[in-house]
Structure 1
Amino acid sequence: MSTSRQRIVVGAADLIRRRGLAGSTVRDLAGHSGAPLGSTYHYFPRGKQQLAAEAVRYAGDLVQTYLRRELHAGPIAGLRAFLGLWRQTVLDSDFRAGCPVLAVAVEEPPADGAPEALNAAAEVFAAWQQMLSTSLRENGVEPDQAGQLATLIVAAVEGTVAMCRAQRDISPLDEVTAQLEALIQHSLRQ
């Protein structure tokens, strides 16, 4: 990916995690990255949905890379890293930023075309769930339970990030961390 194109994608991911997709125009997304509007349309001829989809995939890939590395130490280490990443994001942004994947997922898809960004969000969530489920299975959790627990983890983390932003308080994330750790430890002992 070219440097200019990458800069636009990174800037778009950052703005979407702060303002959501509906709250951002292509001009806003280009401006946030410091790119000329013409360059944005050059790299993303299908417009906002294409750019948002790539921004979501970019954010998803960053989390996957981090999660993959941490899951080598086991599912609890992976969980702590996953939650720690979102904790840092929320605190570093003074509760102004969350997850761009969630931001896209909760918005109404466009009426005039394919929900490219929404499809990308679904892919990212599925990839995170798969990684967590695989780690849980590899560490002795029954396959059905591992899949359900992975879904619970992703849903709980995403919802908790939203709660923290709304309440301007990190304690919901800390509480969810403790409960999910206990649930994983219980599942590993069975």
Structure 2
Amino acid sequence: MAKSSAPSRERIVAGAADLISRRGLNATSIRELAKHAKAPLGSTYHYFPEGKGQLATEAVRYAGGAVARILRRELDAGPVAGLRAFLSLWRGIVIESDFRAGCPVLAVSVEEPPAGEMPPALTAAAEAFEDWEQLLAEALRKHGVDGDQARGLAALIVASVEGAIAMCRAKRSMQPLDRVARQLETLIAGVLDG
């Protein structure tokens, strides 16, 4: 959860990302999002006059950006280091929450949008996934992997890790993420050596 010393707006966004990662978007109200962030409801509406949809969009962007910053930093040491950091981040979130939290980007992505609408939070989720994939693909290309293969591996990494997080929560075990981690590291090492 967000630190109480964080500015109100940032604390609300971080708290919303955390609660969405636990319950999903449809299962939370703006009142619950404010309460989880330990922010007054009035402040929440002040910062997010468009309501829950606006807050959810910013929460997804916040989470997507936080992951992207970690990837950018760790991918400087190479694709395997970036993969390990990506896995370590999610491992920490799942374990620290006692299997109650996962990825808010995925949580928004798997919920049914209103008929005929493309909610901004869903668009933000697609952008976050795309950003992560681009970062991974760029790192792979820098280490000699062909462009198409790099893009495919990047999509495989993101999809595998996101799916493993969901499986870990369901099984209340880190075993799915551990298995995926081993397979992805082996695959990437083989591609880089090949």
Normalising by structure 2, what TM-score?
A: 0.94
The secondary structure found in structure 2 opposite 1:178 is helix
Asked whether 1:121 is paired with 2:125, we answer: yes
Structure 1 residues 133 and 31, CA gap change in structure 2 (3 angstroms): same
Note the C-alpha offset of 1:150: 0.1
State the AA in 2 paired with 1:148.
Answer: G
State the AA in 1 paired with 2:61.
Answer: R
The ranges of structure 1 where at least 4 consecutive aligned residues each deviate by more than 6 angstroms after the TM superposition are: none
Asked whether 1:72 is paired with 2:80, we answer: no
Q: In structure 1, list runs of 5 or more residues that go unmatched.
A: none
Note the C-alpha offset of 1:113: 5.4
- Taking the aligned partners of 2:118 and 2:159, their CA distance within structure 1 comes to 25
Residue of 149, 152, 155 corresponding to 1:148: 152
Structure 1 residues 185 and 87, CA gap change in structure 2 (3 angstroms): same
- Taking the aligned partners of 2:117 and 2:89, their CA distance within structure 1 comes to 33
- Taking the aligned partners of 2:87 and 2:15, their CA distance within structure 1 comes to 23
Note the C-alpha offset of 1:36: 1.4
- Taking the aligned partners of 1:130 and 1:174, their CA distance within structure 2 comes to 24
The secondary structure found in structure 2 opposite 1:160 is helix
- Taking the aligned partners of 1:113 and 1:79, their CA distance within structure 2 comes to 34
Provide Cα deviations, 1:151-175, integer angstroms capped at 9, x if missing partner.
0000000000000000000011011
Residue in structure 2 matched with residue 189 of structure 1 by the alignment? 193
The secondary structure found in structure 2 opposite 1:34 is coil
State the AA in 2 paired with 1:7.
Answer: R
The secondary structure found in structure 1 opposite 2:112 is coil
Q: In structure 2, list runs of 5 or more residues that go unmatched.
A: 1-5
- Taking the aligned partners of 1:136 and 1:161, their CA distance within structure 2 comes to 23
Number of equivalent positions = 189
Normalising by structure 1, what TM-score?
A: 0.96
- Taking the aligned partners of 1:113 and 1:157, their CA distance within structure 2 comes to 28
State the AA in 2 paired with 1:74.
Answer: G
- Taking the aligned partners of 2:164 and 2:182, their CA distance within structure 1 comes to 13
Note the C-alpha offset of 1:112: 7.9
